[in-house]
Amino acid sequence: MSAVRCQDCTWYKEAPYAAPLTGCWHPENMRTSQKEAFLKQQEQPGDHEKINLRGDCARYEARPRRGSLWRRILSRLAG
């Protein structure tokens, strides 16, 4: 298996746009997680650098490929 990059994983989110903190947001890798929706701001993601230190993260899931630019434009116009 080739080495994987955290930035290509579905569970990786970067601050400040996709998440409040940068890290791995997989439920099993999170430092603290909350059950109640109003406590979501207190969640802390796992340290993606430590989890994927050797490039062999067991919970890696590739991000879905984006459609072509034309397809995205046409879907916006049709929808």
Distance CA 70, CA 49 (A): 36
What pLDDT was estimated at residue 34? 84
What pLDDT was estimated at residue 42? 87
- At residue 41, the 3 state secondary structure works out as helix
pLDDT one digit per residue (tens) for the chain, 79 residues: 578 899 999 999 999 888 889 999 999 998 888 888 888 888 899 999 999 999 998 899 999 998 899 998 998 998 7
CB 6 within 8 A of CB 24: yes
What pLDDT was estimated at residue 70? 93
What pLDDT was estimated at residue 39? 84
